[in-house]
Structure formats: structure tokens, C-alpha cells
Chains A and B, each alone.
Chain A
Amino acid sequence: MATSKQDVVITGMGVVSPIGLSVPELRESLLQNRSGIRLWQSPQMSRTLPAGLIERDFSDQFSKLELAYMDRCSQIAMLAAGQALKDGGIEQFEGYAQRAGLYYGSVTGGVKSEHDWVRQFHVDKVGSSKPYTIMASMLNAAPALISIKHRILGPVITNSNACSSSGAAIGEACLAIREGRLDVALVGGAEAALIPTFMGLWFGLRALAEVDPVDVSRSCRPFSSRRTGLVLGEGSVFMLIESRAHAEKRGAACYGRLSGYGIASDGFHIGSPSPEGQTAAIRAALADARLRPEQVSYFNAHATATRGGDPIETDSIRAAFGEAADSLPVSSTKAIHGHLLGGTSAMELAICALAIQGSFLPATAHLDEIDPECKLHHIANEPELDTPVEHAVSLSAGFGGTNVALAVSKEHDLLTKFPVSEASTN
């Protein structure tokens, strides 16, 4: 395919996740199919739950003056963003003025700070919060802090449409670069909501997986007939994206080209998906990337392992890909990292980029018994290595009905980037 100066390429990535605190660690976990699903418990809930926990306190990475404004969500976002920018080779954007942007997705932002304050108000009878708690609680706290640190002076936009939040953010940034409004953008998402009140909200929906009685790390089983529900996770993923012209000018290597963006809404139900919206989003991404269905080498499914959601997505994939669906390699990596909510689209796009860069097909772990209602060409249990991936597509479907599909393609003209272990949060 002919290249364009306005093609959008991924030149930096950063990850703080249950399966890796850096891009190389994430890559290694995918290759080893190493699960980050761990036991979550709280004295405030009688029930234990599986969760994509990051067993690490990051407050030692910041001064107390900084921490006043930083929920855990902002901490992991700041760290992942810092990795992506270091990896991409641009850490200060002042010289770009309004031609550098930050597009971010999250569902709950500084929810722990907010809920801690609510408890102080109702239980401790404290009448007024700390002056900075309102800032720490904001949905856009993380991108605000990142933009201040790295002097990103163009659009700094927070997008929240449930599980496709960071997907839409990334897609819209891609359009802004393609249309020539921006040279470069930091894009991604973050979520750190594994707190009792939020877990209780999800538990109320009866959608959460049970703890696997033998091995908690096997509790999330997308597409399996033995799936029991979704597993919430925490984490943040950011990418530096820029126009091909800009990357060429500065001699930057890239992980791949962000080749397609499709967004479509169900207009159906606030909490139940419908295949039409998902199918439309996938078709739109393929059309945007000028791809025929049979050209796609890998599909990273949203598949959260709920009883109702996985078969609907199966139908959507089949409708969008037609006959090509029978041979389309599909997996849901949520089996090992859980559902990062606002961060999940960014996480799964990064995984697609790594699949392209490393020529492998990530697997759906714990998929011994495929649900007959989820019949697809599954990459089950073990990743397929030494398999060239030319084009990969990732789908995210959010509560509220907003569906986002993103396509990433191998880049043949710019230098290929390999993850280096230098940029890590350890």
C-alpha cells in the first residue's frame, strides 16, 4: 500500500500492568502466557475475588508534594506515560505549542481518592476535604499532571465511554494527526479502581468471575464453556504516536502503523451489547485501514469472559469478517491481564503492536473447553510463535454501547522498533 506523510505511526510505548511494568516485561508475559490474575480481598467484603492486581505501591516514585494531587490512577498513568515518552525520544513538548496533544481514556479516574473522601464525610463526619482532594479525584487528573510535567500544550482531552474509553481517545488522536492538526500525540488510558466500593458495584451486577478453586491465576476464561465472568484489572498504557513525516524527519523507529479506526454505537441498551454496533465498528476500522477481512492476521477480542458478552462478540466477528472468520486467529488476552476498563483498549492495542513486532499470535489462556457458542479460530492456551503478523485488529465494547476497533499494521518503510528493557517502572 502506498504510504502517506500523514500516516500515523507508534514510536513509543509504556506499560504499567498486572503482567508487566514495562513493554519488554509485557512482551515476555505474552510469550510465556504468564497470568497476572491474583487474589483480591478486603476486610470490607466477605467475598474474595480474582483481579488483575499490580502488587506494587508506586508512591515511592513521587514526592509528597506531588502525591497530594495523585491518586494511584494518576501515579500509574504518569509512570506509563513517562516510559512511552522516553521510549519515543520526546519528553518535552513546549516547542510544539498546540501541535502536540494528549488523548486519554479512563472510566473512574481518581476514584480511590473520591471514595476515601466520601467515607471521611459519612463515617468520620469530616465536614470539608483536603484542598487538593478534588483535584486528585478528577477523571482528568492524570492527563492534567502529565501535560504539566511534559508541557503538552495542545488538546489535552479525557474521554470516558466505559470499556472503549482509551480506544476512542487513541482513534480521535489518530484522526487529528491524519488531518494535519497535530504532529504528535501521547495517547493511552489508565484505571486503578480495585477498591471495595467499586468492586462492590461490579459485584452487584453479578458479572464478576469466581475465584478458581485450584489456581486463582486461571480465574479469567474468555470463550471457555467454563467461564464464570469478568476479572477486573488495573493498569495504564500509553503510546507516542506521530505522523510519518514527523517520524521520518527525526529519524524515529516505530512499532507499527496505526492504520484503522472504527467507532460505532449500539443504540440498544445501556448495559447489554448488540452485535450490530460491534460489527459496524470492526467494518469501519477495516475500511479505514483499506483492509479486506482476509488480510487481517490477528484479532484481539474484547471478550471479557461474561456469559452473555462473548457469544455476541463471536457473532460480531463472524458478521464483520464473513468467510474469513473461519481462519482469522482470535484471542482474548484478558485471560492473563484482566479487564483494565479505561486502559484496556490501549493495553490490547499495545499487545497487537507487539504481536506484529515480534511475529507471534498471543493466546487466550485457560481455553481448554471452547464454548460452542464462541466458535472461532482460537489461539488457545499457547501463543503461536514465528508467525508473521501484518495487520492486527483490536475491538473494545463499552457499557453504554460505544464500540471501538483499532487496526495496527506492520510498517515497512520506517525502521522497526524493538522493546528495550531500559524504560521500566521497577
Chain B
Amino acid sequence: MNQHDTESILASLQNFLQERFDIPVESATLDASLRELGLDSMLVLDVMLETEDRLGVKLNDLSMPRDATVGDVVKMIQRNLGA
């Protein structure tokens, strides 16, 4: 399993969301809406910055659809990784 596959990125996100914002791992599924999890644009930005640190990558393209889901974050990270 490579650390940039969907499952690994999702697990990393879930851990961070749990640590930083007390969002239960089981709530942060791929189809969970960020808004419904209580994450506004600034908190999502925090997630991005943390992801850069944790994965040691630079996210240049942060664009995501409206009312994005956790899955959209995973896709955005993978897009930046060229995966």
C-alpha cells in the first residue's frame, strides 16, 4: 500500500480531524460533507496545511467543488500528487 492511495490519505485525514476537531473517525467517511462535519473554509484550509506537513507535499491546486466532501479532499490531494 502506498501512502498516497485513497485509503492512506483518508486515514491520515481522519486521524487529523479526530485530533484537532474531535470529529469521530467513523463520521469522516468519503461521502461526508465537510460542512455537515462543521468544517468551514478556514478550518478546511487548516486541514490542507496539515496535510502538506504530514505528507511532505505542496498542494498548489486547492480547488474543490461546492459543498465538498471528505472524498473531494482526498481527490484534491491525489490530483496534486499526480496520482
Residues of A within 8 A of B81 (CB): none
Q: Which size bracket describes the interface of A in this complex?
A: under 10
Residue in A closest to B47 when the chains form the complex, CB atoms: A131
Describe A's contact surface by its main secondary structure. Answer: loop
> Which stretch, B4-12, B25-33, B38-46, B71-79, touches the partner chain A?
B38-46
| CB pair B42 A64 closer than 8 Å | no
Asked if A65 contacts B43 (CB within 8 A), the reply is yes
- A64 touching B45, Cβ below 8 Å: no
- For B23, what are the chain A residues with a Cβ–Cβ distance below 8 Å? 65
Cβ-based interface call for B66 (8 A): no
Decide if B61 is an interface residue (CB 8 Å cutoff): no
Contact with B along A51-68 (1 / 0, CB 8 A): 000000000000111001
The answer to whether A135 and B42 touch across the interface, beta carbons within 8 angstroms, is yes
Give Cα A64 to B22, complex, Å. 6
Write out, one digit per residue, whether chain A residues 123-136 have a CB within 8 A of any chain B CB (1) or not (0).
Answer: 00000101110010
Bound Cα distance from A132 to B49, whole angstroms: 12
Instruction: Evaluate contact between B46 and A68: CB separation under 8 angstroms.
Output: yes
Kindly list chain B residues whose C-beta atoms are within 8 Å of the C-beta of A65: 21-23, 38-39, 43
B-side interface residues, number (CB < 8 Å)? 11
Q: How far is the CA of A65 from the CA of B22 in the complex (A)?
A: 8
B33 to chain A, nearest CB (A): 14
Among residues of B, the one whose C-beta sits closest to the C-beta of A65 is: B38
How far, in Å, is A148 (CB) from chain B's closest CB? 11
A65 to B39, CA, bound (A): 7
B21→A131 contact, CB < 8 A: no
Q: How far does the alpha carbon of A242 sit from the alpha carbon of B21 in the complex, in Å?
A: 38
Task: Give the residues from 349 to 400 in chain A that come closer than 8 angstroms, CB to CB, to chain B.
Answer: none
Q: Are B38 and A130 in contact (CB under 8 A)?
A: no
Chain A residue, CB-CB nearest to B49? A131
Q: Enumerate chain B residues within 8 angstroms of A64, measured Cβ to Cβ.
A: 20-22
Q: Is the CB of A130 within 8 A of B21?
A: no
In the complex, which residues of chain A have a beta carbon less than 8 angstroms from the beta carbon of B46?
Answer: 68, 130-132
Please tell me if the beta carbons of B21 and A68 are within 8 angstroms of each other in the complex. yes
Which of chain A's residues has its CB closest to B41's CB? Answer: A131
Instruction: With CB as the reference atom, state the residue of chain A lying closest to B50.
Output: A130
Contacts of B43 in A (CB 8 A): 65, 68, 131-132
Q: How far is the CB of B16 from chain A (nearest CB, A)?
A: 12
Bound state CA distance, A130 and B21, in angstroms? Answer: 14
Q: Which residues from chain A contact B45 at a C-beta distance below 8 Å?
A: 131
Q: Which residues of chain A from 47 to 99 have a CB within 8 Å of any chain B CB?
A: 63-65, 68
Inter-chain CA distance A135–B23, complex, in Å, is 22
Output the nearest chain B residue to A69 by Cβ-Cβ distance.
Answer: B42
Q: When chains A and B are docked, how far (Å) is the Cα of A63 from the Cα of B49?
A: 21
Query: Please, what's the 1-or-0 string for A117-149, where 1 marks a CB less than 8 Å from any CB in chain B?
Result: 000000000001011100100000000000000
Cα–Cα distance between A326 and B11 once the two chains are bound (Å): 74
Cα distance A73–B73 in the bound complex, in angstroms: 33
CA separation between A68 and B22, bound complex, in Å? Answer: 12
Whole-angstrom distance between the alpha carbons of A152 and B54 in the complex?
Answer: 40
User: A63, B42: Cβ atoms under 8 Å?
Assistant: no
- For the complex formed, measure the closest distance between the CB of A136 and the CB atoms of chain B, giving whole angstroms: 11
B42 / chain A contacts, CB cutoff of 8 Å? 68, 131-132, 135
Bound Cα distance A64, B73 (Å): 21
| Residues on A with beta carbons closer than 8 Å to the beta carbon of B39 | 65
- Closest CB in chain B relative to A137 CB, distance in Å: 13
Hey, which chain A residues are within 8 Å of B38, CB to CB?
Answer: 63, 65
Scan B45-69; emit 1 where CB is below 8 A from any A CB, else 0.
Answer: 1100100000000000000000000
Tell me how far the C-beta of A66 lies from the nearest C-beta in chain B, rounded to whole angstroms.
Answer: 9
The distance from the CB of B59 to the nearest CB of chain A, in whole angstroms, is 14
How far is A135 from B46 in the complex, measured between Cα atoms in Å? 13
Chain A residues closer than 8 Å to B22, beta-carbon distance: 63-65
Q: With the chains together, A64 CA to B19 CA distance in Å?
A: 9
Across the interface, name the chain B residue whose C-beta is closest to A63. Answer: B22
CA distance A130 to B20 in the complex (A): 12
Give the docked Cα–Cα distance between A65 and B20 (Å).
8
Q: Chain B residue with minimal CB distance to A66?
A: B38
A131 partner residues in chain B, CB cutoff 8 A: 42-43, 45-46, 49
Whole-angstrom distance between the Cβ of B10 and the nearest chain A Cβ: 20
Instruction: Known A-B contacts: A65-B43, A128-B49, A130-B46. Give 6 more (CB < 8 A).
Output: A64-B20, A65-B21, A65-B23, A131-B49, A132-B42, A132-B46
6 cross-chain CB contacts under 8 A: A63-B38, A64-B20, A65-B38, A68-B21, A130-B49, A131-B45
